[in-house]
Amino acid sequence: MKKTYFLPGLMLAFFLSYSQAEQWQVEKLYELDFDPISEMSGMVQSKRFSDVYWLHNDSGDIARLFAVNGQGEVLFPSFLPFHGQKSKRGKKPWPGHAINLAVNYDWEDIAVDRDWIYIADTGNNGNSRRDLGIYVVPDFNPAMIERSRSIRYYAFRYPEQEHFPAKQWHYDSEALFVLDNHIYLITKHRVAGRLSRFEKGANLYRLDNLVSGEMNEAVLVDSHPGLIAITAADLSPDATQLAVLGYRQLSVFPAPESGDKWLSGQSKSLDLVAFRMGQIESISWRDASSLLVGNEDGVVYLVTLPD
């Protein structure tokens, strides 16, 4: 782990003001310096264990999770013959917590409730997959447990998609959150046939009444015409705000008064382009007024919301 340092020309903290009353603060918090965390794609704070954040790599990795604390220090059972960020003679780097009965085809986001970790194997760049699903793993103590297993796997489909690849490439999801036994996914839209060209727009789907071992149908519950290239989402600790991360913008939506219209409220938004954060793929609330935003290289930023 590399220590926090001042960013060239901008100092440690940035301040952006969209009005006199609205001000965000952004600072680089830490940089993971740990080779096994090679392409960070998901991050979430445990609700069961204090100062524990679960991380995972993007597609192509084995099925495993990593745990770090709020300073970015890797957590693992110290009684095992491994080392963390600091090399130790005779010990290999900690390989992560293996998740048995799971495959990382394209893990894109992670969420938690009080008992469970939810891993979204929902990456669908070419909009051709027919094996999308959510792994459910018990939230475990990373300082005591070496490995765990997927207790359930919920396969699902988008009922609007009839062709593989789809005619409209609107069936890739990299954003996940959970609330009241419901699993929610936000889609990332591309120009059909063009992997690197994104379209404006995002849809919110809900998964409920899920049955393991069967193909479940996602329910379209909301949409937003302006969101673009959404890569992560997380619900605030008190479930009153939803943070939605894209390559260019961070949006925070208030909870709907009723129903599932999470993307229809008046959001607070921060333009991220000026901060040059790299390819940002993960987001987690730290507390009620601040968020951690991470890029694929393991750099994590602290974003403090306007008062």
pLDDT digits (tens, 9 = 90+) for 176-235: 999 999 999 999 999 999 988 999 999 999 999 999 999 999 999 999 999 999 999 999
Rounded Cα–Cα distance for residues 171 and 13 (Å): 37
Instruction: Give the residue numbers spanning the domain of 137.
Output: 15-304
Above 60 in pLDDT, residue 12? no
Instruction: Please count the structural domains in the chain.
Output: 1
Q: How many CA atoms lie within 13 A of 176 on its CB side?
A: 29
Rounded Cα–Cα distance for residues 304 and 301 (Å): 10
Is 246 within a domain? yes
pLDDT digits (tens, 9 = 90+) for 28-42: 999 999 999 999 999
Is 178 within a domain? yes
Is 174 within a domain? yes
Is 153 within a domain? yes
Above 70 in pLDDT, residue 20? no
Give CB contacts under 8 A, 24+ apart, made by 162-166. Answer: 164/127, 164/128, 164/129, 164/130, 165/126, 165/127, 165/128, 165/192, 165/193, 166/127, 166/192
Q: What is the CATH number of the domain that holds 111?
A: 2.120.10
Rounded average pLDDT over 125-132: 96
Is 107 within a domain? yes
Is 245 within a domain? yes
Rounded Cα–Cα distance for residues 24 and 290 (Å): 10
Amino acid letter, 241 = Q
Is 5 within a domain? no
Q: Where are the alpha helices (DSSP H) in 192-287?
A: none
Cis peptide upstream of residue 138 (ω within 30 degrees of 0): no
Q: Residue 63: its pLDDT value, please?
A: 98
